[in-house]
C-alpha cells in the first residue's frame, strides 16, 4: 500500500481522481447497492464534471470513485483507443490520478467504455465502466420517471415486448440494433447502453464487474460477474446478433464487430474491426485482411473512422 | 450509548484511536475490496489494512466503516459495540449519526451474534427504491470454520461452499425469508479479522 501511495503523483491542485472524498463515498455506496440489485438503477448525486453532459460524465464519476494508484486504465470510444473522447478521458485520469494507461485490454484493470465491449474476453478482477446517455430502457415508451419507476417496481414490462413485437409486425424482424434491452438476473429490464446488440451476449456470465454510470440522468447500475443477462426476444423470433459477409479488411477477423468505412466518392468502401486494439494485435500476429497491403486504406481507416462512426450517433 | 441523545455527546478525545493514515488511498483500496467482496459473493477477500480499531471492532469492520459511513448514513450499533470506545471512534472519524431504531439505519454494525436482532427489523427498501435498504456488517469468529452451506446466485459461477461460523441457529431461515423478498431485502457483509465475505440479497443459500 505505502509503496504505491508514495509513488502516486498527480496534479495536486485536485483531490486524487478529481472528486472529493464525500462524493466518492456517496458514489461507492450507490455502486454497492447497484451490485446487490443487478440491473436496478440507483439514483445518485451526480456532480458536474469538467466535460459536457453526453461525453461520459457518468462513466468518469464511476471510474473516479473506483480507481486507485495501482490501477491501469484503458479508455475506449466505440472500440477505438485513439478517438477524441477516449484520448481526452484517458488524459484526464492521467492528470488527476496519475494512473498508468494502456491500450491493451488484457493489461487494464479498469476499462471505461463508450458503446462497445472489447472483443478480447475480460477476466476476473477487471472492472468495465460504461458511459450511459439514457439509463432508462422504457423512457421512449413512457416519459414519466414516476411511471417507469413503478413499471420496474412491479416488473411490468409488457410495453417493452409490445415495442419489439411492433418491430416484427412492421419489418418482419426485431429491428433494434443497439441499446437492445436485456433482462438481468430474471428481474430488471436494463439498457445495456448504446452498445451494438452484437455485444449483448458478452454481458452474460462475464467474469468481470460491469458498472454503468449516467451523469446527466444521475443513475448508476451494475451487473456483477457470472450473472444472467438475457436479450429480450420471442420464441419464434429468437435474439440474433449482426453478421457480416465480409472479413475485416485489415486483419481478416470474421468474429469481430465491423465498421463500414467509405473510402472515396466512387462507392469504394471497406469493413474494419471497430476494436482497434484487437485489430492491431491481430495484424501484429501476422493476420492479414484483403486490404491490409494497401497503406492508404490502413491510414484512412485509422484516421477517419472516428468521424464516420460518430455521424450515426449525434 | 444507543439512546438518541448520545449522538450529541462530545467524544472522549483521550483514548481516541487513529483512523486511516492515508484516508484517500486506504479508503479507495478498502472500497475496491468491498466491491469485489459483494460482486464475487461467497469468496473470502482480505483487506490490507494496518488499522488498530477499538475493541470489539476487527480491522476489516473498522475499515468498512471509515470507507462507507458519513453524515448521510444513519448507523445502528449493537450493544456489544455501543458499550465500548467504538461509538466515539465512529462518530469522530466518520461523523455518522448513530440511531437507536434498527429500521432507520443505512448500515448496521453487529458483533454480538447471540443477541443479533432478526433481519426483518432492518430496512428492506421500497418496491420503487430497493436501494433504500440496510447493509449489515456482521463480525463473526471465522469465515471458514462454520457449517458448510451452498450459495448460488449473481456473482457466483455455479455454486460455492461457504462456512461462516458463529451465526444464530435460525439465521439461514431468516436469510431465506430475506432472499424471498428480492429485489427488496438487506445485504450482508461478514468480517473476521482482516477478511470479508459478501452476501447480497440475490444469493440463495442451501444447507
Q: In chain A, what percentage of residues exceed pLDDT 90?
A: 85
List residues of B whose CB lies inside 8 A of any A CB. 22-29, 31-32, 34-36, 38-41, 48, 67-68, 70, 72-73, 106, 126-131, 133, 135, 154-158, 182-183, 187, 200-202
Q: Is residue A56 flagged as an active site residue? A: no
CB contact under 8 A, B35 and A31: yes
Which residues from A are below 8 Å from B41, CB to CB?
224
Specify the pLDDT at position A314: 31
Judging contacts by C-beta atoms under 8 Å, the chain B residues touching residue A154 are: 127
C-alpha cell at A145: 420517471
Q: Does A125 touch chain B (CB under 8 A)?
A: yes
Grid coordinates in use for A233?
426476444
Q: Which of A20, A37, A49, A41 is nearest to A217 (CA)?
A: A41
Contact A97, A179 (CB under 8 A): no
- Burial (CB count within 10 angstroms: exposed 0-12, middle 13-18, buried 19+), residue A293: exposed
Q: What secondary structure letter does DSSP report for A234?
A: B
pLDDT of A304: 43
Question: Using CA atoms, how far apart are residues B38 and B48, in angstroms rounded to an integer?
Answer: 17
- Residue A46 a catalytic site member: no
Please state, in angstroms and rounded to a whole number, the distance separating the CA atoms of residues A57 and A84.
15
Q: Which of A182-196, A251-265, B27-41 has the lowest mean pLDDT?
A: A251-265
> For residue A5, what pLDDT is reported?
76
Whole-angstrom distance, CA of residue A288 vs CA of residue A277: 15
At A3 the pLDDT is 73
User: Distance between the two ends of chain B, CA-based, in angstroms?
Assistant: 37
Catalytic status, residue A248: yes
> For residue B12, what pLDDT is reported?
63
pLDDT band, very low/low/confident/very high, at A17 (cuts 50, 70, 90) = very high
| pLDDT at B20 (0 to 100) | 95
- Cβ-based contacts under 8 A for chains A and B: 123
Partner-chain contact B202 A185, CB within 8 Å? yes
Establish whether A273 is a catalytic residue. Answer: yes
Please tell me the distance in Å from A8's CA to the nearest CA on chain B: 10
Average pLDDT, chain A: 92
Q: Which residues of chain B have pLDDT under 70?
A: 1-12
Q: How far apart are CA A166 and CA A164, in angstroms?
A: 5
Q: How far is A173 from chain B (nearest CA, A)?
A: 31
Q: What is the pTM of this model?
A: 0.93
* Residue A39 is a catalytic residue: yes
Residue A22: all three cell numbers together: 464525500
Residues 6+ apart with CB under 8 A from B116: B78, B110, B138, B168, B171
Inter-residue contact B81 to B57 (CB < 8 Å): yes
pLDDT (mean) for A249-269: 91
Interface pTM, i.e. ipTM = 0.94
Q: Are A68 and A93 in contact (CB under 8 A)?
A: no
Report the residue of chain B nearest A24, measured CA to CA.
B28
* A183-203: average pLDDT: 97
Residue of chain B minimizing CA distance to A30: B131
Amino acid at each position: 500500500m505505502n509503496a504505491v501511495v508514495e509513488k502516486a503523483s498527480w496534479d495536486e491542485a485536485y483531490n486524487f481522481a478529481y472528486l472529493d472524498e464525500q462524493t466518492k463515498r456517496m458514489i461507492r455506496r450507490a455502486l454497492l447497492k447497484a451490485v446487490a440489485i443487478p440491473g436496478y438503477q440507483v439514483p445518485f448525486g451526480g456532480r458536474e464534471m469538467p466535460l459536457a453532459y453526453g461525453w461520459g460524465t457518468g462513466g468518469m464519476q464511476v471510474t473516479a470513485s473506483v480507481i486507485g494508484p495501482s490501477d491501469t486504465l484503458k479508455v475506449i470510444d466505440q472500440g477505438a483507443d485513439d478517438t477524441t473522447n477516449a484520448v481526452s478521458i484517458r488524459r484526464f485520469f492521467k492528470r488527476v490520478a496519475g494512473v498508468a494507461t494502456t491500450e491493451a485490454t488484457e493489461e487494464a484493470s479498469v476499462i471505461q467504455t463508450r458503446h462497445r465491449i472489447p472483443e478480447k474476453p475480460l477476466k476476473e478482477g477487471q472492472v468495465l465502466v460504461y458511459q450511459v446517455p439514457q439509463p432508462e430502457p422504457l423512457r421512449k415508451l413512457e416519459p414519466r420517471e414516476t411511471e417507469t419507476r413503478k413499471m420496474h417496481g412491479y416488473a411490468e414490462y409488457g410495453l417493452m415486448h409490445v415495442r419489439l413485437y411492433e418491430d416484427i409486425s412492421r419489418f418482419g424482424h426485431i429491428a433494434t440494433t443497439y441499446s437492445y434491452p436485456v433482462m438481468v438476473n430474471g428481474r430488471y429490464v436494463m439498457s445495456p447502453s448504446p452498445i451494438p446488440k452484437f455485444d449483448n451476449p458478452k454481458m452474460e456470465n462475464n467474469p468481470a464487474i460491469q458498472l454503468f454510470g449516467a451523469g446527466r440522468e444521475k443513475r448508476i447500475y451494475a451487473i456483477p460477474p457470472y450473472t444472467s443477462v438475457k436479450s429480450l426476444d420471442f420464441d419464434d423470433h429468437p435474439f440474433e446478433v449482426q453478421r457480416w459477409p465480409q472479413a475485416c479488411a485489415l486483419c481478416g477477423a470474421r468474429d469481430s464487430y465491423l465498421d463500414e468505412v467509405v473510402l472515396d466518392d466512387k462507392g469504394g468502401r471497406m469493413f474494419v474491426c471497430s476494436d482497434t486494439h484487437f485489430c492491431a494485435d491481430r495484424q501484429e500476429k501476422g493476420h492479414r485482411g484483403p486490404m491490409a497491403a494497401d497503406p492508404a486504406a490502413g491510414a484512412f481507416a485509422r484516421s477517419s473512422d472516428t468521424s464516420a462512426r460518430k455521424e450515426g450517433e449525434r | 450509548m444507543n439512546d438518541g441523545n448520545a449522538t450529541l455527546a462530545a467524544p472522549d478525545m483521550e483514548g481516541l484511536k487513529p483512523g486511516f493514515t492515508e484516508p484517500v488511498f486506504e479508503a479507495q483500496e478498502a472500497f475496491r475490496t468491498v466491491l469485489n467482496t459483494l460482486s464475487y459473493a461467497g469468496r473470502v477477500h482480505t483487506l490490507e489494512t494496518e488499522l488498530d480499531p477499538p475493541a470489539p471492532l476487527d480491522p476489516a469492520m473498522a475499515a468498512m466503516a471509515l470507507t462507507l459511513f458519513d453524515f448521510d448514513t444513519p448507523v445502528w450499533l449493537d450493544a456489544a459495540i455501543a458499550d465500548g470506545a467504538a461509538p466515539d471512534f465512529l462518530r469522530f472519524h466518520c461523523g455518522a449519526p448513530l440511531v437507536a431504531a434498527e429500521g432507520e439505519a443505512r448500515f448496521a454494525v453487529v458483533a454480538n451474534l447471540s443477541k443479533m436482532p432478526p433481519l426483518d427489523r432492518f430496512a428492506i427498501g421500497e418496491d420503487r427504491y430497493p436501494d433504500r435498504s440496510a447493509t449489515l456488517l456482521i463480525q463473526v469468529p471465522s469465515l471458514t470454520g462454520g457449517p458448510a452451506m451452498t450459495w448460488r446466485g449473481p456473482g457466483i459461477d455455479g455454486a460455492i461452499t461457504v462456512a461462516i461460523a458463529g451465526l444464530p441457529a435460525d439465521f439461514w431461515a431468516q436469510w431465506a425469508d430475506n432472499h424471498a423478498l428480492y429485489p427488496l431485502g438487506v445485504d450482508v457483509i461478514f468480517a473476521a479479522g482482516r477478511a470479508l465475505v459478501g452476501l447480497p440479497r440475490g444469493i440463495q443459500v442451501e444447507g
